[in-house]
Chains A and B, each alone.
Chain A
């Protein structure tokens, strides 16, 4: 079987995602799937699959760095009454990937972590990994608020801004995060305008002209017919 046929066999009747293939099947299937299509399959060209696979195979963060990323990601997005934490949503793996996918992140990320480590040693004579949760917060508070941070904390502010951006985006584009934010689309729908209760809340309405000229959802399947002047008559 060639690659394409293999793909068809593997993916028939399923949502064709590397995510499901690598987490939802038994290990042997998953391994075979990865061999054939790489880790991710979402309409990739063969060249793109190679790029993704190579990035996935490389490692950027050291173990200690990965631990630090995880700790800080969960400080930025902790578990609350609505949803889980950054690490529960897979943010550290996402940040690891982005370091390789966009190499310009590497220096400010690694350098920022080193800078924070230095601050931790200077303050507590211990690594950021080895200080208490409260001690970590005293350091984070120095770099988390760009408008009021001390001028000599600017390096840390830049680093924390980058971590905040990547953590927020990684979280809210994850399964947990999309559910949390309440995004209701990405599925077949029949758009028939803003719901009435929402219009009321904002004191808005559709004028009669708009209602007359806009799509009647029940007509969608009727084949359109016009008169010679361009009026829709059927």
Chain B
């Protein structure tokens, strides 16, 4: 342990905590307005264009574990440094409830490996209480955010199609890639089930949008981060370009413990632990912007107690950490007999689905209040650890020369042949839905535990309600209709009520939001409609902590749009000398 010395560093106009989608966007917009910006990142520097970090276009045998997920939770080639568990940085759970917290400790955070599914929230998504009486409305509407979605589309690039759907707004789209073979089968199956299928909307450059970034070369490996920057990550598209213009200074391995405030309750800067030398440093700033991810931001706020903020920073309402909610998720798989013995060709495509199903039903006619979208997967993807498993149960689906089912298990030339035959014949789908935010789902400071930097850790309390469970049941009914409609043989058992219809544990979809939600009433919200803290006017939150409700969409595009909007507000307020 080192003797801790507070070292007074230079003062900035703005100090941003976190370099993911929200922090990256704020760094770009604020620095381009001429402000001096410090970005503090708790992990290391990362640039997928540098050979030392590259996992893209590697072969499975380059990993001794052939891509298995024993080191990195999404496999050895995935770009995320971090995961559900990080050594020395624990979190705990309360009352036997479940919550899994994924953290990426690296420049760009979780935007380096994410699925690039970039969906705008629609008009209904901002006003859910008006429709079903549950939860709360946002203090803003789609019209407030639309101009920023438009700008994000053009700045970062997203492919898709304008469909004129009421709650899945049109945008400025690049052309989508053509569907793969299994996706054409999906369209057939979905038509049987009366489920619409449209081109997916992913922030991957099918066409050039500027001179700086390359275009997609269809390796299907966006999760490994792209060396030509053809997909969106905050590091490559926001932070690095902003740094090149000179007004942004990046501090890596900087683990922020708390926001400092003066006697009047205003923020004066932050204290961080440098993970390399384990010393404590202070950075002074006129404005503090938290973008550490919803839960980490709540942790910093709750750990920032002072005379003027005895309940944690800007937490007079007591809502910081509360209303934590993640997307719902559950999956199903099938075997496609028609796809046995497929002709081989390169069908990698982009890193993710080429088609998807946006929510298509009216919840007023259903027994659960919120919708979900469906993601589809399958195809002749690169074999990785796990490929060829399960022939002890799968071989019976393959017919031998006599038209008889093969015997499960076995060995030898026949087994080898059957692995070849079955390659590319699996399809699957994942439902990702909206949950109803609950006051009693929360993270708080665990009074018993600190991390290895001496910072008190989060303790989670989270239970799904009947709304999410019923939604998961509906997902599985739909999956079965589509899968059988496309000629698939369902694999595994349909989940039942006993296992909450296969609903994954909260946190598993990594869309956790809502822990410092915005609202007009300071008694029931931590932030105002510009994501400015009610109790501390020079403190802002630009991660998904500000969300009032997480739609049946992925949150990143909304984080980017809201961060841009808040950044413009900060510039305006500084000009007017209001902060």
Contact = CB atoms under 8 A, between A and B. Distances in A.
Contact of B411 (A75, A188, A198, A201): A75
Interface in B338-392: 338, 343-350, 380-392
A121 B62 CA distance: 39
Interface in A176-210: 177-178, 180-195, 197-198, 201-202, 204, 206, 210
B64 A39 contact: yes
A40 B62 contact: yes
A16 B51 CA distance: 8
B412 A222 contact: no
Interface stretch (B12-20, B90-98, B204-212, B325-333): B204-212
Contacts of B392: 146, 157, 161, 164-165
Interface string A117-132: 0000000000000000
B425 to A, nearest CB: 12
B33 to A, nearest CB: 25
Interface string B61-73: 1111111101100
B77 A42 contact: yes
B313 to A, nearest CB: 32
A98, A146, A175, A213 — which one has the most chain B CB atoms within 10 A of its CB?
Answer: A213
A170 interface: yes
Contact of A165 (B64, B174, B388): B388
Contacts of A55: 64
A206 B71 CA distance: 41
Nearest to B393: A146
A26 B166 CA distance: 65
B66 A221 contact: no
A108 interface: no
A184 B389 contact: no
B438 interface: no
Interface in A7-38: 7-8, 11, 16-19
B207 A222 contact: yes
A43 interface: yes
A169 interface: yes
Contacts of B423: 181-182
Contact of A214 (B77, B199, B215): B199
A1 interface: no
A186 B175 contact: no
Contacts of A192: 178
A213 B174 contact: no
B215 A220 contact: yes
A218 B319 CA distance: 53
B219 A188 contact: yes
Nearest to A197: B343
Interface stretch (B283-291, B413-421, B559-567): B413-421
Contacts of B446: none
Interface stretch (B179-187, B492-500, B501-509): B179-187
Given A48-B71, A198-B345, A145 B408 contact: yes
Contacts of B70: 101-102
- Contact residue range for chain B? 35 or more
A232 interface: yes
A194 B62 CA distance: 29
B407 interface: yes
Q: What secondary structure prevails in chain B residues at the interface with A?
A: loop
B346 A189 contact: yes
A31 B181 CA distance: 46
Contacts of A222: 207-208
Contacts of A157: 392, 409
Contacts of B416: 77-78, 80, 171
Interface string B185-200: 1000000000000010
Interface stretch (B52-60, B232-240, B295-303, B429-437): B52-60
A11 to B, nearest CB: 6
Interface string A152-180: 00000100110011001111111101101
A5 to B, nearest CB: 11
Contacts of B347: 184-185, 191, 194
Contact of B346 (A4, A147, A187, A230): A187
Contact of A7 (B52, B81, B391): B52
B174 A178 contact: no
A178 B44 contact: no
Given A19-B61, A213-B175, A145 B81 contact: no
B568 interface: no
Given A80-B416, A226-B154, A164 B64 contact: no
A147 B408 contact: yes
A77 B415 contact: yes
B350 A184 contact: no
A76 interface: yes
B206 A189 contact: no
A89 B400 CA distance: 27
Contacts of A11: 51
Contacts of B413: 78, 80
Contacts of A183: 344, 380, 382-383
Nearest to B163: A213
Contact of A215 (B58, B64, B65, B207): B207
A40 B219 contact: no
A230 B162 contact: yes
Given A170-B66, A211-B178, 13 more contacts: A16-B51, A42-B54, A75-B412, A78-B413, A94-B64, A101-B64, A169-B387, A173-B387, A190-B217, A191-B178, A191-B346, A202-B181, A215-B207
Interface of B: 44, 51-55, 57-68, 70-71, 76-77, 81, 150, 154, 157, 159, 161-162, 170-181, 184-185, 199, 206-210, 215-221, 338, 343-350, 380-393, 396, 407-413, 415-417, 419-420, 423
6 contacts: A55-B64, A78-B412, A168-B387, A168-B389, A185-B381, A223-B208
Interface of A: 4, 7-8, 11, 16-19, 39-40, 42-43, 45, 48, 51-52, 55-56, 75-78, 80, 82, 90, 94, 97-98, 101-102, 140, 144-148, 157, 160-161, 164-165, 168-175, 177-178, 180-195, 197-198, 201-202, 204, 206, 210-211, 213-216, 219-224, 226, 230-232
Top-3 shortest CB links A-B: A168-B388, A193-B178, A182-B344
